[in-house]
Copies of this chain bind each other. A is one copy, B any other.
Amino acid sequence: MKNKIKKQKKAKNKKGGGLSVKKENFSEWYSQIIEKAEVTDLRYAVKGFVVVRPWGAIAIENIYDLYEKELQKLGHKPCFFPTVIPEKNFKKEASHIKGFSPQVFWLEKIKGEGKLALRPTSETAFFQMYSLWIRGHRDLPLKLYQRANIFRYETKATRPLIRAREFYWIETHNSFETKNQAEKQVQEDIKITEKIMYQKLGIPFLALKRPEWDKFAGAIYTIGSDVLMPDGKVIQQPSTHMLGQNFAKVFNVKFKDEKEREQYVWQTCYGPAMSRILASVIAIHGDNSGLIMPFCISPIQIIIVPIYTSKNKKKIINESKKILKKIKQLNLRADIDFSDKRPGEKYYEWELKGVPLRLEIGEKEIKSKKAVLFIRDTKKRQIISISQLSKLISIGNQFDKRLKQKADKLIKGKIIDCKTKEQIKKVINDKKIARCNFCSIDKSGEKCAEIVEKNIGAEVRGILANKKEKPKGKCIICNKKAKHIVYIAKSY
């Protein structure tokens, strides 16, 4: 009897053609969904290198587009740097090479060249040129970015879009006259993350200044953005780095200020990974029927499903085409499903792929000059008049707002103040983030962080970067006076 119930439950859980239930087994659900919705294909057969199929590629292109427009608006300019970095560049900044060298793919030696690395990040490519381009204060600020694929030799388990050996990102590399300007850039970077990842794509995150032992190799400090995934682990999304004058000094990037004094520039960099952001979009918004794509990046925003018999097929297809034309004139991405599947199958597939809006058009709809509008997240249907298709724009915007509100609700109550190690353990087990007093995220706190990792299996992720929080009390680990309030979580 018990077995029978279990089996029924299992069958029920695998709704939607065998999809796992997201809440019960997020990891399995994620692996299934990205393959079934044709986001990626893992069968390329080289560890950590996946094929991104059109549905994923167009979404990634659309995220690129959001980012590039924003960066350009803020005065960043695009450029392209070589994929290869000479070893001699790479080795110039001591802590950079220490941090990155285990992760580097090297090319087989070629004639006439020293060793060449595939870029894991491009500071050591950019700054060599910055030393040639920057002469005087009029050359500053210099804010360049490139859209690029980068390579990291991950030896741990890889996960598609989340942890890969090749991924698709943007890297900005900036140089300023003053420390203050550089720090402002770091804050602006956080705002860019907020504008795109949170405001547009509906992914809430914590902007955290990383502990000293967890900063970018070569940086003064790093601010990461942590997204809590449905399995209770946080994933690092765009991070921004205050490089100070570390790289400027080894690459000799100097300028003459207004008084003709020679000075080193102050530098920052910022690295949003489009493929990883898409992973969070999929993880946070998706449900048991599949993906839910934000309207602003969905490859198709509105899919038209014509419903016909052999008798009225021609007429309905024609009317559907007219409607498609009208929607495209609104600058929306739309398509008609002409395949010879049954309407139910089509519904299922487009829901799996997460298309925000679906228009169902049959005989009745054409007669009444209306269409049935199905909305992916609420799964509700409503009637829309063909003469009022321009409403689709605001319906799409509302769609994205709802996704954000839902994500906000999910995260709410997931950050728990803790007073004891046992509380932290419980919070982490409950797939939440612990917030507590901590001695320090400076070098001196590393031992306490190691205890957190060893005893609780979680990481000290840092302190809030855009808000000052003052601790009252003692470090939850060593009992010394707490200097910081930290956030502790499991991580990817």
Closest partner residue, chain B, to A114 (CB atom)? B46
> Within 8 Å of chain B (Cβ to Cβ): is A336?
no
Closest partner residue, chain B, to A115 (CB atom)? B108
Given known A-B contacts A46-B113, A86-B46, A107-B107, A132 and B52 have beta carbons under 8 A apart: no
Closest partner residue, chain B, to A111 (CB atom)? B155
Interface contact A45-B86, CB-CB below 8 Å: yes
Q: Which residues of B contact A17 (CB under 8 A)?
A: none
Give A250 Cβ to nearest chain B Cβ, in Å.
Answer: 16
> Within 8 Å of chain B (Cβ to Cβ): is A61?
yes
- Which of A75-83, A217-225, A360-368 lines the interface with chain B? A75-83
Q: Which residues of B contact A45 (CB under 8 A)?
A: 86, 128
> Within 8 Å of chain B (Cβ to Cβ): is A49?
yes
Interface contact B107-A49, CB-CB below 8 Å: no
* Interchain CA distance A477-B116 in the complex, whole Å: 47
Chain A positions 118 through 141: 1 when the CB is less than 8 Å from some CB of chain B, otherwise 0: 100000010011001100001000
* Interchain CA distance A189-B86 in the complex, whole Å: 38
* Interchain CA distance A50-B84 in the complex, whole Å: 10
Copies of this chain held together in the complex = 2
* Interchain CA distance A108-B109 in the complex, whole Å: 8
Interface contact A57-B82, CB-CB below 8 Å: no
Interface contact A44-B78, CB-CB below 8 Å: no
* Interchain CA distance A166-B106 in the complex, whole Å: 16
* Interchain CA distance A168-B105 in the complex, whole Å: 21
Interface contact A84-B128, CB-CB below 8 Å: no
Interface contact B82-A44, CB-CB below 8 Å: yes
Give A135 Cβ to nearest chain B Cβ, in Å.
Answer: 14
* Interchain CA distance A61-B170 in the complex, whole Å: 15
Interface contact A79-B54, CB-CB below 8 Å: yes
Interface contact B83-A149, CB-CB below 8 Å: yes
* Interchain CA distance A110-B166 in the complex, whole Å: 14
- Tell me which of B60, B106, B112 contacts A107 (CB under 8 A): B106
Q: Which interface class (under 10, 10 to 19, 20 to 34, 35 or more) fits A?
A: 35 or more
Chain A positions 310 through 322: 1 when the CB is less than 8 Å from some CB of chain B, otherwise 0: 0000000000000
* Interchain CA distance A43-B130 in the complex, whole Å: 11
Interface contact B82-A50, CB-CB below 8 Å: yes
Interface contact A110-B153, CB-CB below 8 Å: yes
Interface contact A79-B108, CB-CB below 8 Å: no
Interface contact A166-B129, CB-CB below 8 Å: no
> Within 8 Å of chain B (Cβ to Cβ): is A459?
no
Interface contact B80-A60, CB-CB below 8 Å: yes
> Within 8 Å of chain B (Cβ to Cβ): is A144?
yes
* Interchain CA distance A217-B128 in the complex, whole Å: 38
* Interchain CA distance A61-B61 in the complex, whole Å: 13
Closest partner residue, chain B, to A126 (CB atom)? B51
> Within 8 Å of chain B (Cβ to Cβ): is A58?
yes
Interface contact B53-A79, CB-CB below 8 Å: yes
Interface contact B84-A58, CB-CB below 8 Å: no
Closest partner residue, chain B, to A147 (CB atom)? B61
Interface contact A49-B82, CB-CB below 8 Å: yes
Chain A residues packing against B (C-beta within 8 Å): 41, 43-47, 49-54, 56-58, 60-61, 77-84, 86, 105-108, 110-113, 116, 118, 125, 128-129, 132-133, 138, 144, 146, 149, 151, 153, 155, 166, 168, 339
The 5 closest A-B pairs by CB, nearest first: A49-B82, A54-B77, A52-B80, A106-B108, A57-B78
